[in-house]
Amino acid sequence: MTGLGQAYRETRYIVLLEGREITVHIGEAVAEMPLLLPGYGAIVTGWNPGSQHRPVEENRTANAELSAWIARQGLMALPSRTETADPAWVEEGFLILGITEADAIDLAWRFGQNALVWLATAEPARLVATSLWRDTD
């Protein structure tokens, strides 16, 4: 496996919950998911659409637009961030609770994202591609 898929799978996704960090790895269940009602959701970001680096201020603006969309829908969200092998590549985002997988894919696509992370109680975290993903693996 090479390219973006490899990078996404090696990324640590950190969700912030009441001062605690919940670490999410693709392919592993998240023990805390039953505590996060309704027990399913998606990690989505507005940062770096298409995995193309953008200035921090542009990323923050996109994430603020994402946050506003979440609020308009009446959904609950927890802040998240990524940790990658490249310390310069950090993305802030949200674990959006109660969003359907189909709606999360549409939302990620609207924000130019290649993929999102899907979480559900007792299931391994999954990387879910949008139609924008052009990786070769």
64-98 pLDDT per residue, tens = 999 999 999 999 999 999 988 888 788 999 999 99
Band (7; pLDDT cuts 50, 70, 90) = confident
Band (109; pLDDT cuts 50, 70, 90) = very high
Mean pLDDT, residues 9-33: 92
Band (126; pLDDT cuts 50, 70, 90) = very high
Dihedral sign from CA coordinates of 60, 118, 127, 102: negative
* Model pLDDT, residue 1: 39
pLDDT more than 90, % of the chain: 69
Dihedral sign from CA coordinates of 118, 119, 120, 123: positive
The three-state secondary structure class of 94 is strand
* Model pLDDT, residue 12: 93
Distance CA 103, CA 83 (A): 25
Answer whether 0.85 is exceeded by the pTM: yes
Distance CA 42, CA 101 (A): 7
CA atoms within 13 A on the CB side of 87: 0
